[in-house]
C-alpha cells in the first residue's frame, strides 16, 4: 500500500467525524502512537453498526479500533495469547478502573517484601524458588541457546515472576486478574536472559530475541532489570489503555443519553473463544473420535447441503470451516487426489469443462458400505 494511497483517505475524513478520535489513542498502549491510519481506513470503509472481521487479528488493533468506532468487531487469531490481549483490552465490563487499581495494590503489598529479598541475594531467590509454583520446565526448540525453559531466566527473574504471578492469582479474579496477567506477561518479555538492551538507551529499552531473531538467543551480557519496577511500568500501560476505553464508554453513554453504545459483550466477539467453548453436554464429554472418522462425518455433512453442483474449492472451504468450528482441523489429512477419490466414491463426477462436481447418473449407492477415509499417518 503506497503512501500516496493513504494520504488522500486520511485527508478526506471530515473534522466532525474525528471528534471521538480525540478521546482515545491506538492500541496497543493507546497513547503516544503515530497517526492512526487504521482508524482512518475503518472510518472511510465502514459505518457504525457494520461488522468488521479481522481473521488474523494479532493483538487486536483493527477489531479494537473498529469496536471503539461503533462497529461490531470480530477478532480471531490462532495464538491464544493474541486473543487474550484483544479480549481484555476491549473489555468494557468494569464499572471503572478502581477495582484494577485496588487489585494492583494488593499484589504490591504481597510482593514488595519478598521481592526486595529476592533482588538483594541470589541465594534468597533460590530459596523462594523451592516454594513457589513454577510452570513445567519444557525443552526448548533446538535452535535455542538454552536447552530448557528455566535456563532463560536468572534465579531472581524466575522467582520474582513466579511470586508476582502467584500474588495476582490470589488477589483478583475475572477481567481484573486477566489485565494484571497481561501486565505480567509483558514483564516476562523483559525479565529474561534473552532480553537485549538497545545500545545507547536506558537498559529497559529493547526487546526479547524471540521477537526480533525468532529464536531464544541468550544475551552475551544479560541485564537484570528491577522486577517490581518493570511490572509496575507494564501495569501503567495496561491501566492507561483501560482508562481510555472506559472514558470513551462514558463519553458515548453521555452523548447517547444514558444507553450503552459501547458494550464489549455485545459488539466485540473473539471468534476462537466462541468456537473453543462447546455447549455443555448433560451426559459429559463424548468419547474422542478417530481423525478419519471425524473427517468422514464432516465431509458428508458438508456435502449434504442440497447443492446439485459445486466446485472443489467451495467444498474444501466448507470443510475447513466446519473442521475449524469443531476444533478438529488436525483431522484434515487429505490431498487433492484423495479428495477427488472420496467424491467419486460418494457418487459425484467431475466436469473438467465447467470445473464443477455433479451427481453421477450411473452411481449405485451400496447400502451399508462404509465410506471411510484412509487413516491419517
Ligand X SMILES: C[S@@+](CC[C@H](N)C(=O)[O-])C[C@H]1O[C@@H](n2cnc3c(N)ncnc32)[C@H](O)[C@@H]1O
Of the two residues 83 and 92, which places its CB atom closer to ligand X in the complex? 83
Q: Which long-range contacts (CB under 8 A, 24 or more apart) does 202-207 make?
A: 204/230, 204/233
Neighbours of 309 (CB within 10 A): 12
Nearer to ligand X among residue 52 and residue 97 (C-beta): 52
Minimum gap (Å) between residue 41 Cβ and ligand X: 10
Peptide bond into 166 cis (omega under 30): no
Instruction: Name the H helices within the chain.
Output: 3-12, 37-45, 61-68, 80-90, 98-120, 122-131, 155-171, 174-188, 209-212, 227-255, 264-267, 271-276, 291-303, 312-325, 336-345
- Least separation in angstroms between residue 82's CB and ligand X is 5
Supply the minimum distance, in Å, between the C-beta of residue 272 and ligand X: 8
| Cα separation values, 122 from 56, 225, 227, 298, Å | 42, 14, 13, 56
The minimum distance between CB 8 and ligand X, in angstroms, equals 21
Closest distance to ligand X from the beta carbon of 104 (Å): 27
Which residues lie near ligand X (CB under 6 A)? 54-58, 61-62, 76-79, 82
Helix H or strand E encompassing 359: strand 356-359
CB of 293 to ligand X, least distance (A): 24
> 225 and 269 in contact (C-beta within 8 Å)?
no
Q: Nearest 10 degrees: CA dihedral of 229, 234, 240, 242? A: -130
Closer to ligand X by CB, 103 or 271: give it.
271
Residue 252 grid cell: 458515548
Q: Which residue is nearest to ligand X (CB)?
A: 58
Beta carbon nearer to ligand X, 84 or 373 = 84
Q: Indicate the helix (H) or strand (E) that contains 191.
A: none
- When the beta carbons of 274 and 371 are compared against ligand X, the nearer one is 274
SS3 74: strand
Compare residues 60 and 155 and give the one whose CB is closer to ligand X. 60
Backbone torsions φ then ψ of 248, nearest 5 degrees: -65, -40
Of the pair 56, 148, the CB lying nearest ligand X is at 56
Question: Please, what's the largest Cα pairwise distance for the chain?
Answer: 83
* Nearest distance in Å: CB 359, ligand X: 33
Q: Say how far apart CA 145 and CA 141 lie, in whole Å.
A: 9
Least distance from C-beta 76 to ligand X, angstroms? 6
With respect to ligand X, which residue has the nearer C-beta, 238 or 271? 271
Amino acid at each position: 500500500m503506497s503512501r500516496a494511497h493513504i494520504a488522500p483517505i486520511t485527508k478526506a475524513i471530515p473534522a466532525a467525524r474525528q471528534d471521538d478520535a480525540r478521546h482515545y489513542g491506538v492500541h496497543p498502549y493507546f497513547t503516544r502512537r503515530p497517526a492512526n491510519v487504521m482508524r482512518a481506513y475503518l472510518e472511510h470503509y465502514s459505518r457504525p453498526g457494520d461488522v468488521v472481521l479481522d481473521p488474523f487479528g494479532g493483538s487486536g488493533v483493527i477489531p479494537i479500533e473498529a469496536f471503539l468506532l461503533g462497529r461490531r468487531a470480530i477478532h480471531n487469531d490462532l495464538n491464544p495469547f493474541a486473543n487474550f490481549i484483544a479480549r481484555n483490552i476491549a473489555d468494557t465490563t468494569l464499572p471503572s478502573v478502581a477495582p484494577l487499581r485496588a487489585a494492583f495494590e494488593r499484589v504490591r503489598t504481597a510482593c514488595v517484601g519478598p521481592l526486595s529479598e529476592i533482588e538483594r541475594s541470589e541465594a534468597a531467590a533460590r530459596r523462594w524458588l523451592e516454594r513457589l509454583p513454577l510452570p513445567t520446565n519444557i525443552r526448548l526448540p533446538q535452535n535455542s541457546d538454552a536447552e530448557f525453559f528455566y535456563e532463560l531466566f536468572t534465579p531472581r527473574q524466575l522467582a520474582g515472576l513466579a511470586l508476582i504471578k502467584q500474588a495476582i492469582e490470589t488477589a483478583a479474579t475475572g477481567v481484573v486478574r486477566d489485565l494484571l496477567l497481561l501486565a505480567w506477561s509483558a514483564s516476562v518479555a523483559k525479565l529474561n536472559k534473552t532480553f537485549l538492551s538497545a545500545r545507547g538507551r536506558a537498559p529497559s529499552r529493547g526487546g526479547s530475541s524471540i521477537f526480533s531473531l525468532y529464536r531464544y538467543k541468550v544475551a552475551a551480557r544479560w541485564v537484570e532489570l528491577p522486577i517490581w519496577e518493570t511490572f509496575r511500568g507494564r501495569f501503567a500501560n495496561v491501566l492507561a489503555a483501560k482508562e481510555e476505553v472506559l472514558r470513551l464508554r462514558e463519553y458515548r453513554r453521555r452523548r447517547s443519553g444514558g444507553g450503552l453504545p459501547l458494550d464489549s459483550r455485545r459488539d466485540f466477539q473473539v471468534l476462537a473463544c466462541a468456537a473453543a467453548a462447546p455447549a455443555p453436554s448433560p451426559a459429559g464429554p463424548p468419547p474422542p473420535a478417530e481423525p478419519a472418522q471425524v473427517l468422514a462425518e464432516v465431509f458428508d455433512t458438508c456435502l449434504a447441503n442440497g447443492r446439485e453442483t459445486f466446485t472443489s474449492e467451495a467444498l474444501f472451504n466448507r470443510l475447513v470451516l466446519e473442521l475449524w468450528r469443531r476444533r478438529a482441523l488436525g483431522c484434515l489429512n487429505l490431498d487433492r487426489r484423495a479428495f477427488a477419490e472420496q467424491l467419486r466414491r460418494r457418487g459425484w463426477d467431475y466436469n473438467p469443462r465447467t470445473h464443477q462436481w455433479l451427481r453421477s447418473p450411473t452411481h449405485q449407492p451400496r447400502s451399508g458400505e462404509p465410506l471411510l477415509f484412509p487413516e491419517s499417518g
